[in-house]
Structure 1
C-alpha cells in the first residue's frame, strides 16, 4: 500500500492519497484545500480511477473538493449520511478564516469498493467515519476522532463528548495494537501507542467534560 500525506490549508488538514497494492483505485481522503498540490501528488501514483472519501464534513476537510473533482474527476465522493446536510450547509464555515466551501459535488453514502471498510466514528460530528485499509500493518484513517496524544474537539456543531469517547473505546481500542492511525491533523500514530499513552483515554475524568 502506498500512502502520501499532503497537509492543506490554514489548519494544515491532512489529505491522504492511498493506493492499495491489489487495487487500481487511488483514494483521496479529506481534500481540505490546495487541490492542485493534491493533484500533483496524485501524478506520482499509478492508477486507473479515483475515489474521494470524507471522514466528516467540517469545512477544513472539504474546501478543496470542488476544484479537485474538476482536476481528477473521481468516480464518486463518499460521506456517511448523518453529515450530508451539514456538508451542504452555508453555515459550515469558520469565520472569518474559512468561508463555506463552494462548488461541492453530490456525495454518496454507500460504496461497493472492497479495498476498505467504513467504520462509523460519531462524536466529533454525527457522521464521522474511519476508513480501514488492509495491509501489513493495516491503516485506519480516522479524521478528527483521535490524534497522537489527543482526541477530537466536541464543541463544534454536532459534537458530543460521550459519543466520541464511546467511538474511541468500542471502535478503535478494540483493534490490534499495530493498526496505524492516520488523523486529520498532525502525525500518524498506532492503536497501541494511544492505548498506552493518550491522556484523554487514560484519564477517566475526561468523561465528565
Structure 2
C-alpha cells in the first residue's frame, strides 16, 4: 500500500521505526548530495493506522548522502552524518562531512509519565517467555522487540519491530517471543512496552539465541 507523499521530492530521507509503531521520517535533499543548497529541513511522523503524516519539530541540520538515524534505548533518536557535494548554493565550494549530531525527542516523551520496566531475563529463546517487573503492567497495550540499528548510506539495513504476546499479573509482565526464525532473527533487541497513550518505557536489552 502506498503511503502519503512527502511535501517535497526527497532523496536520502532518514526513517526510524518507533516503539509506538509510528515512523519518524526526517531530512534528505531534493538534489544529488544536497547540490544547490537543496537540503530539506523537515520532519514528519508517519502513522500507519491512518496512513498519514504528522508535522513535528523540524531538524536544524541538513542531512543527505551518508547520513542516518538510529533509535536509542530511551526512546529518543539520534541523527548523524551527511556528505554534501558542495558547501554553497552556487556549487563552487567543496562540501565537508557533517560532524554535528542531533537528538530528537518524540512527542510521546513529553507526557507526564511513562511505563517502567525492569528485571527479567537477558536471554529469551524463540517460542519461550520471560517475566519482567512493571508498576504499570496493567496499562501496557503493546510489547515490541526492536533491533538495534545498523545504518549506512541512509538505509537502516537491520531495522525490525516485532510484536510480542504478553500477560499482566499484578506488577509482573510475561512476554512471549514468536517461534518463527524468519521473523525473529538471532541477536540483540531492545524490548519496549507501551501504554494506552502510546508512551514507551525505556528499553531492556534482550538477546534471542
Q: Say yes or no: TM over 0.5.
A: no
Larger Rg: 2
- What is the TM-score when the length of structure 2 is the normalising length? 0.27
Q: Which has the higher contact order (CA 8 A, sep 6+)?
A: 2
Q: Which has the higher helix share?
A: 1
- What is the TM-score when the length of structure 1 is the normalising length? 0.27
Q: Which has the higher strand share?
A: 2
